[in-house]
């Protein structure tokens, strides 16, 4: 009888062959996994980019709607505004999301280039500064913007800035932006932050229109009390209605929100009915509430 025994050599060869096959299968599985992960990541990035673009488009739509309303109202003073001053109004842009528009009249703010030191002192004391500090802050602002080198009683001119170790001095000219307040010698940073929403460089008025003043400014002018007719007559004048800040917020169905703002000056009768003075775009932020299901009228 023939003796049949396993071929040890061929069995070893088969085992050796199986190892590369297993490695190949494992490598292919890894490649497929990485590919699918890459596809998912790319799909998510694309979806996020689309959502971001939608949020930005909604915010820009709000800016356009606000400008159109301002221009139309300038030509027809009796026309009822779609966007009353300082009142946010929301609308649905088709099925794409919600647009919220709010318009501020710059005439309701204190103009840094025209407000006198009395008005500035009133604002500072209303914000909680002592009379001495309020006088110092007001004089420093006046010295910063005037064209001479004559130091006011409590102000600051070039020599004072240099003695304070600063490489710059007062502008000796008009404020070009409200953020320049941060360069005025002696103004505390926290006070500047509180003051920025209350001031402008675009109203061209020595006073403010109380009817459109931010609540904090109206309260400051009232000295923490109810705004009496006497205070209103001294601090308030009717707005020239020529400069406005449009705030717009876009909210997508997925809950991504972005904000835009533009300050425009109206130029009735000109070829271009308005001029953009400044603009800002805030970074988008995800919020818990999505635009879907909100009860607001269509745009």
What is the count of structural domains for the chain? Answer: 2
120 shares its domain with 93:
no
119 shares its domain with 221:
yes
Place of tokens 């001119």: 157
Residues 6+ apart with CB under 8 A from 196: 178, 179, 181
pLDDT in tens, 78-126: 678 889 999 999 999 877 789 999 999 999 999 999 999 999 999 999 9
Please give the residue range of the domain that contains residue 100.
55-107+243-286
Query: How far, CA to CA in Å, does 67 sit from each of 29, 82, 108, 242?
Result: 57, 11, 18, 12
pLDDT in tens, 252-298: 988 889 999 999 999 988 889 999 999 998 877 766 555 455 578 88
- Residue 91 within any structural domain of the chain: yes
165 shares its domain with 197:
yes
183 shares its domain with 142:
yes
Residue 230 confidence (pLDDT) above 50: no
Query: How far, CA to CA in Å, does 231 sit from each of 119, 121, 132?
Result: 11, 14, 21
Residue 245 confidence (pLDDT) above 90: yes
Residue 80: what pLDDT? Answer: 81
Query: How far, CA to CA in Å, does 49 sit from each of 44, 46, 53, 281?
Result: 8, 5, 6, 17
Residues 199-205 have a mean pLDDT of 95
Residue 44 confidence (pLDDT) above 60: no
pLDDT in tens, 142-198: 999 999 999 999 999 999 999 999 999 999 999 999 999 999 999 999 999 999 999
155 shares its domain with 224:
yes
181 shares its domain with 268:
no
More confident residue, 240 or 190: 190
- Residue 25 within any structural domain of the chain: no
230 shares its domain with 178:
yes
- Residue 259 within any structural domain of the chain: yes
133 shares its domain with 215:
yes
Residue 24 confidence (pLDDT) above 70: no
193, 212, 235 — which closes off a domain? 235
Q: How far apart are CA 158 and CA 240, in angstroms?
A: 34
**Residue of 241, 237, 200 whose CA lies nearest to 70:** 241
3-state secondary structure of 29: helix
Entry pTM: 0.76
- Residue 214 within any structural domain of the chain: yes
Q: Which residues are paired to 258 by β-bridges? A: 250
Residue 183: what pLDDT? Answer: 97
- Residue 155 within any structural domain of the chain: yes
- Residue 44 within any structural domain of the chain: no
141 shares its domain with 193:
yes
User: What is the DSSP pairing of strand 110-111 with strand 243-251?
Assistant: unpaired
More confident residue, 125 or 29: 125
Residue 160: what pLDDT? Answer: 96
- Residue 257 within any structural domain of the chain: yes
Residues 6+ apart with CB under 8 A from 298: 91, 92, 93, 94
116 shares its domain with 228:
yes
Q: How far apart are CA 231 and CA 223, in angstroms?
A: 9
174 shares its domain with 77:
no
CATH number (domain holding residue 122): 1.10.40.60
Q: Which residues are paired to 200 by β-bridges? A: 111
- Residue 130 within any structural domain of the chain: yes
Structure tokens at 270: 């000109």
Q: How far apart are CA 99 and CA 54, in angstroms?
A: 11
Residue 229: what pLDDT? Answer: 45
257 shares its domain with 163:
no
**Residue of 218, 202, 208, 223 whose CA lies nearest to 266:** 202
Query: Please, what's the largest Cα pairwise distance for the chain?
Result: 130
Quick one: pLDDT band at residue 238, thresholds 50, 70, 90? Answer: confident
Residue 25: what pLDDT? Answer: 61
Residue 228: what pLDDT? Answer: 45
Residue 294: what pLDDT? Answer: 57
Angle between helices 131-145 and 117-126 (to 10 degrees): 140
């Amino acid at each position: 009888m023939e003796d049949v025994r396993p071929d040890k050599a061929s069995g070893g060869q088969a085992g050796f062959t199986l190892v590369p096959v297993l490695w190949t299968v494992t490598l292919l599985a890894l490649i497929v996994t990485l590919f699918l992960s890459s596809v998912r990541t790319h799909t998510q990035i694309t979806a996020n980019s689309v959502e971001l673009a939608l949020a930005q488009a909604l915010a820009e739509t709000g800016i356009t709607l606000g400008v159109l309303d301002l221009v139309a109202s300038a030509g027809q003073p009796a026309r009822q505004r779609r966007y009353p001053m300082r009142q946010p109004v929301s609308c649905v842009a088709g099925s794409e999301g919600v647009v919220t528009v709010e318009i501020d009249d710059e005439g309701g703010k204190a103009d840094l280039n025209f407000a006198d030191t009395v008005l500035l002192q009133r604002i500072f004391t209303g914000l909680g500064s002592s009379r001495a500090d309020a006088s110092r802050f007001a004089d420093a602002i006046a010295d910063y913007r005037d064209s001479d080198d004559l130091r006011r009683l409590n102000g600051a001119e070039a020599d004072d800035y240099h003695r304070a170790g600063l490489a710059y001095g007062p502008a000796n000219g008009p404020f070009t932006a409200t953020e320049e307040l941060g360069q005025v010698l002696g103004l505390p940073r926290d006070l500047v932050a509180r003051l920025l929403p209350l001031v402008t460089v675009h109203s061209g008025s020595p006073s403010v229109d109380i009817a459109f003043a931010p609540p904090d400014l109206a309260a400051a002018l009232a000295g923490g009390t109810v705004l009496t007719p006497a205070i209103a007559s001294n601090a308030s004048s009717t707005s020239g209605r020529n400069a406005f800040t449009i705030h717009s917020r876009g909210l997508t169905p997925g809950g991504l929100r972005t904000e835009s703002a533009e300050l425009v000056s109206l130029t009735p009768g000109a070829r271009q009915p308005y001029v953009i003075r400044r603009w800002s775009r805030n970074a988008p932020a995800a919020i818990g509430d999505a635009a879907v299901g909100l009860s607001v009228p269509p745009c």
